[in-house]
Structure 1
């Protein structure tokens, strides 16, 4: 799968966003080493603290379907003038799945005219994860 294909999947997910309060529709797409793609979108709640980010929804869907590693690439898209990066909570949620498979996935942070490629370890250095508990 190309970067453009993964970004298109994230944009398609963003179109399903439930974001009536912020009007900030975000989409995420996760690519696994077996070629499977899992998407998520942000879901807001009238009790603002209960909102779910797109990346967290995608990771939750993947893990609910049995994924325990194999994460190789993530694309995150949204509105606005700049690139969209995962928030701190989402970086930690992505890290849990990545560490289960021993991967350091590429993260595609997508803006209207730019794609910034980085790695999860660059976004979340010295991350706490499953290995930290042993």
Structure 2
């Protein structure tokens, strides 16, 4: 899912996959840039939405060069919690890979919806 080999461009160092409720899979890669660039999870969620998948169920991110499953950054956690509160995220734990609810991954998160009331 990524294309940054040793000595490569380093622009795409993470890949992500999203499983939608209709069973379709959608992929995305990050875009590294000094301004922050989008993370692979958000690109994959955007690709799913662009393809008409409105109810993502599970997301996972992996690092290039065999780095395996990578847990989402704080920004991605907040975006996913705000946009898809029923989403499950596959994370790496000391006991191995595990699927958990985004709310469990981001307890005590900022509640964007409540703040708009």
| Distance in 2 between residues matched to 1:64 and 1:96, nearest whole Å | 18
Matches within 5 A, 1:100-115: 103=86, 105-110=87-92, 114-115=96-97
Pairwise CA distance, 1:82? 7.2
| Distance in 1 between residues matched to 2:50 and 2:113, nearest whole Å | 18
TM score, norm. by length of structure 2: 0.72
After TM superposition, which residue ranges in structure 1, 4 or more long, deviate above 6 angstroms?
none
After superposing the two structures, state which structure 1 stretch, 57-66 or 116-125, moved more.
57-66
TM score, norm. by length of structure 1: 0.64
Q: Which residue of 1 aligns with 2:17?
A: 29
Gaps of 5+ in 1: 1-12
Give the RMSD, CA atoms, in angstroms: 3.2
After superposing the two structures, state which structure 1 stretch, 72-81 or 52-61, moved more.
72-81
Gaps of 5+ in 2: none
Higher strand share: 2
| Distance in 2 between residues matched to 1:36 and 1:81, nearest whole Å | 25
User: Aligned residues, how many?
Assistant: 112
Q: 1:49 aligned to 2:49? A: no
Secondary structure in 1 matching 2:91: strand
Secondary structure in 1 matching 2:84: helix
Pairwise CA distance, 1:67? 4.1
Pairwise CA distance, 1:52? 1.5
